[in-house]
Amino acid sequence: MITNNIERIHFDSMNTCHLCMMELENVYEALVLSPEEIDLLDMPKRSFTVHFPVRMDSGKTKMFVGHRVQYNDARGPTKGGIRYHPKLELDGLKNLAFLMALKCALVNIPFGGAKGGIVVDTKKISRGELESITRAYIREISDIMGPFKDIPAPDAYTDENVMVWILDEFERIKGRHVPAIVTGKPIELGGSQVRTISTALGGIFVLEKALQTIEMEVGSPCVAIQGFRNVGKNAAKILHEKGYRICAVSDSSGGIRNVNGIDIPKLIEHKHQTGSVLDFPDTTKISNEELLVSDCGILIPAALSKQIGKDNSADIKAKVILELANAPTTLEASRSLVDRGVLVIPDILANAGGVVVSYFEWIQNLNQDYWKEEKVLERLRYTMTTAFASVHNVCTNQNCSMRRAALQFAIRSILHAERLRGNLQP
């Protein structure tokens, strides 16, 4: 568990914040926001830093630093991941917490945004130490958590095991069961069906709705997918099952291509056995750069940020880009792609399926009523396609990109809630 490249995650999250914040400045301008509105949006409601001792395996005590930012709760309790990283900083978390508030507003689920974590390198500690550090952090922040206050979820270097420790520690402190305190739990402890594929599936629901609504000619029916782990692999599997032809995929070791389509279930088995997608029978080896500009109708970046920039955007052949990764396209590249008619489905919408199913998990926990897979699928489809329709509506009325429209919609929604609460002038 928890084996990704730590440097990469840190770098990616900085890019994600930076790109989103740059576009936000333009959105504020387009919406002609008042100074009061900008002030309200620019500051997190609460941010906490805690320091706590943990007895390590060596018997010595070490001090750790944890943070939690609750950015905006006008629309509901704050919701957002807990990440573990040696370079975790409060400022980065503030931006990511704001992004969560925007994402929840965009898909119209009744949550505000939060983010938090611990400054720790998970590769340098034992599993027992990881558990002790997690439990100690929760003891420090339990007063500011709650199913109607702030609900954590997994993020970089935290997973469902960490969520179980969070649940257990919180319930020990409160002396009762509180399953809705955290999402991303295993099904046996109140997790939701569909959670593991929710990000990929949510994006695909939006993709299909977009293709249907815009009636656009995708050109080559091939799909190319960058990244083949959590999000990319599930996207490939779902699209393959739906009958799409996946003609190129890649992971950190490089890419493979077969214009006639790749057998995805067999490739998943191959990756499981060999650790990479390379050397899969009946495919040609390509580089990651080649994958991005390969002849395909739909391109799905599902790995890193800043993969499509000024150097390669003119060579992109896809007619549709579904941004399942966070910030895979630079703003300049995104604008030039949109200008030449490429449909760029922005990350804030495309990868929101994860938080939507987290919301479903929370509802199921509160009601102690667990849904069948079909119900989760139906409600995820409804939520994602409704969000797409709202964004498309803004795009049509304002003649702007989907990214701009999505941010405008989310900001308006948060400000509307603040206005209803009396925090802004009517």
State which residue, 40 or 225, has the beta carbon closest to ligand NAD. 225
State which residue, 193 or 250, has the beta carbon closest to ligand NAD. 250
Residue 143 CB neighbours (<10 A)? 10
Q: Write each residue from 11 to 50 as x if it is in contact with ligand NAD (CB under 6 A), else as -, in one continuous string.
A: -x--------------------------------------
Among residue numbers 359 through 418, which ones bind ligand NAD (CB under 6 A)?
none
C-alpha–C-alpha distance, residues 131 and 191, integer Å: 20
Residue 225 found at the interface with ligand NAD (CB under 6 A): no
Stretch that binds ligand NAD, among 28-36, 53-61, 185-193, 300-308 (CB under 6 A): 300-308
State which residue, 66 or 184, has the beta carbon closest to ligand NAD. 184
Least separation in angstroms between CB 99 and ligand NAD? 10
C-alpha–C-alpha distance, residues 31 and 35, integer Å: 12
Question: Which tokens go with 105?
Answer: 């507003």
Whether the Cβ atoms of residue 98 and residue 70 lie closer than 8 Å to each other: no
State which residue, 77 or 232, has the beta carbon closest to ligand NAD. 232
Among residue numbers 232 through 291, which ones bind ligand NAD (CB under 6 A)?
232, 250-252, 288
Q: Number of residues interacting with ligand NAD: please give it, by CB under 6 A.
A: 22
Least separation in angstroms between CB 303 and ligand NAD? 3
C-alpha–C-alpha distance, residues 217 and 213, integer Å: 12
Out of 4, 15, 26, 108, point to the residue binding ligand NAD (CB under 6 A): 4
Question: Which tokens go with 57?
Answer: 């395996």
Least separation in angstroms between CB 29 and ligand NAD? 27
Among residue numbers 106 through 145, which ones bind ligand NAD (CB under 6 A)?
none
3 state SS of 12: helix
C-alpha–C-alpha distance, residues 425 and 422, integer Å: 7
Residue 292 found at the interface with ligand NAD (CB under 6 A): no
Least separation in angstroms between CB 255 and ligand NAD? 7
Least separation in angstroms between CB 241 and ligand NAD? 18
Out of 226, 258, 364, 408, point to the residue binding ligand NAD (CB under 6 A): 226
Stretch that binds ligand NAD, among 30-38, 217-225, 228-236, 239-247 (CB under 6 A): 228-236
Residue 149 CB neighbours (<10 A)? 14
For 423, half-sphere exposure in the C-beta direction (CA atoms, 13 angstrom radius) is 17
Distances (CA, A) of 207 to 25, 145, 188, 300, 333: 27, 35, 32, 10, 20
> For residue 166, is it left (φ>0), alpha (ψ between -120 and 50) or beta?
alpha
Residue pointed to by tokens 């950190």: 252
Q: Write each residue from 301 to 340 as x if it is in contact with ligand NAD (CB under 6 A), else as -, in one continuous string.
A: -xxx-------------------xxx--------------
Least separation in angstroms between CB 299 and ligand NAD? 13
Q: Which residues are catalytic?
A: 115
Residue 230 found at the interface with ligand NAD (CB under 6 A): yes
C-alpha–C-alpha distance, residues 348 and 408, integer Å: 12
State which residue, 7 or 91, has the beta carbon closest to ligand NAD. 7
For residue 202, give the nearest of 405, 20, 377, 79 by alpha carbon. Answer: 377
Among residue numbers 149 through 188, which ones bind ligand NAD (CB under 6 A)?
none
Whether the Cβ atoms of residue 403 and residue 330 lie closer than 8 Å to each other: no
Tell me the backbone φ, ψ of residue 77, rounded to 5 degrees.
-60, 150
Stretch that binds ligand NAD, among 118-126, 185-193, 227-235, 412-420 (CB under 6 A): 227-235
DSSP per position, 171-220: HHHHTS--GGG-SS--GGGTPPTTGGGHHHHHHHHHHHHHHHHHT---SS
State which residue, 168 or 290, has the beta carbon closest to ligand NAD. 290
Cα Rg for the chain, rounded, in angstroms?
21
Give residue 193's identity as a one-letter amino acid code: Q
Residue 194 found at the interface with ligand NAD (CB under 6 A): no
Residue pointed to by tokens 């990756």: 271
Out of 354, 380, 394, 402, point to the residue binding ligand NAD (CB under 6 A): 354
Residue 92 found at the interface with ligand NAD (CB under 6 A): no
Least separation in angstroms between CB 61 and ligand NAD? 33
Per-residue DSSP letter, 20: H
Residue 381 CB neighbours (<10 A)? 18
Residue 70 found at the interface with ligand NAD (CB under 6 A): no
Residue 351 found at the interface with ligand NAD (CB under 6 A): yes
Per-residue DSSP letter, 329: B
C-alpha–C-alpha distance, residues 258 and 237, integer Å: 16
Interface with ligand NAD by CB under 6 A: which residues?
4, 12, 199, 226-232, 250-252, 288, 302-304, 324-326, 351, 354
